Structure 1
């Protein structure tokens, strides 16, 4: 509690990550990616690999899975016709196919984590300005927030295509703080991964991490943060305690 109080005093605005922090979207990713691989004539990828790869933007996700597929095909020598393609040559088709499938099912196989709505309601009642910053394409994020009835809690909503660089680069955090109108030192980043923490730390922004999200298969508690929360429901109480 002492480190939390020390790091989160005088917080005046909050930035929330989306996937793995507010919404459990793994099911959406799995369905869209399995359909994409089938359309491309590629074998399915494992759900575990998908979970460990999400978080750095959809383009990174697609390219990483294609690279994995190609390496696996080469290792198994399943036939020249299959291994003749290159990741670069197939990427654009894969990206367009994935976008189509994801938009068709966006939100259908996902759910809001317990405690998220309660936290957002409490923070809104306190008059806390809030933004959403995700590496997901902004159009996907806006549609998902609306589907889950979370959109009205947020002012700015930025995606992985909103700026020149994505998290873990600090630029998106700095730009989001600017849009909120608050200094980085008085703006809290709430995320689920080292990606969020690295971006926040580099920007000079305090960060809190949830323990239930997607952190590339690693323990998020090993990532430096002001606190690690099992539920976002406690966040408004912790912030209030830290500020009084």
Structure 2
């Protein structure tokens, strides 16, 4: 593996297991709508494409279902309020993440966090878990006109640090992240413990797959 001059990391499923909070908020939303709760196992399969898509999946019970527009209009603000109340209370860093970020920050310096999560929730979650200060830039799903798998969040970070795609490494957990990296022209390492809609991330075409965030210390040269 080459020595990157910029490292960009996904958030949910890569650094943080946020599903317990998301599932709690989704079930609270459903309860207020007098609809059946979906539970953690279902929500774990549905996260990764932004809040609106998660709400749609929760309402329909389908990956690409489209609920009635009036129901979505009623449900979306309920979810946002519920998640705002619970954000960070049940989420946890994955094993090795804090250790890995300390090492990356010490040896690589230029770190960015790119997520499809709303910026309303992104920084509060990072701060609650004590890792916000490791990142020189944080790009949320609604920070820019497009989100992953569009390359814009990645190229925006590259421009911020004045780095090129061949100097940049993406770290993620999903096919969405792999597509974003490929669209931006940079390599990607994926973790195998995150959210990829139940599919084996090894089939996504990532440049490497690791099972523990701190394994980056073995892969990346000093």
Give me the TM-score of the superposition, normalised by structure 1: 0.86
Q: Out of 15, 22, 26, which is 1:29 matched to?
A: 22
Aligned residues: 220
Question: Is 1:133 paired with 2:126?
Answer: no
List runs of 5+ in structure 1 lacking aligned partners. Answer: 73-85
Once the two structures are overlaid, the 10-residue window that deviates more, 135-144 or 180-189, is 180-189
Q: Out of 10, 32, 35, which is 1:17 matched to?
A: 10
Separation in 2 of the partners of 1:89 and 1:144?
A: 30
Q: Out of 211, 219, 222, which is 1:238 matched to?
A: 219
Q: 2:127: which partner in 1?
A: 146
Query: Does the 8 Å contact 1:16/1:191 carry over to 2?
Result: yes
Separation in 2 of the partners of 1:10 and 1:47?
A: 38
The structural deviation recorded for 1:147 is 0.3
Q: 1:189: which partner in 2?
A: 170
Q: 1:90: which partner in 2?
A: 71
List aligned pairs for 1:208-223, cutoff 5 A: 208-223=189-204
1:72-118 alpha-carbon deviations (Å, 9 max, x no partner): 9xxxxxxxxxxxxx521121221111111111111111110110011
The structural deviation recorded for 1:125 is 1.2
1:118-176 alpha-carbon deviations (Å, 9 max, x no partner): 11101111142101000000121100000000011011111110111221122221112
Structure with the bigger RCO (C-alpha within 8 Å, sep 6+) is 1
Larger gyration radius, structure 1 or structure 2: 1
Separation in 1 of the partners of 2:68 and 2:198?
A: 24
Q: CA RMSD in A?
A: 1.7
SS at match of 2:72: helix
Separation in 2 of the partners of 1:160 and 1:28?
A: 18
List runs of 5+ in structure 2 lacking aligned partners. Answer: none
Separation in 1 of the partners of 2:100 and 2:202?
A: 21
Query: Does the 8 Å contact 2:50/2:141 carry over to 1?
Result: yes
Moved over 6 A (4+): none
The structural deviation recorded for 1:66 is 2.0
Query: Does the 8 Å contact 1:62/1:95 carry over to 2?
Result: yes
Query: Does the 8 Å contact 2:99/2:214 carry over to 1?
Result: yes
Query: Does the 8 Å contact 2:20/2:40 carry over to 1?
Result: no
Separation in 2 of the partners of 1:47 and 1:104?
A: 18
Query: Does the 8 Å contact 2:26/2:58 carry over to 1?
Result: no
Separation in 2 of the partners of 1:93 and 1:151?
A: 32
Q: Out of 171, 176, 189, which is 2:157 matched to?
A: 176
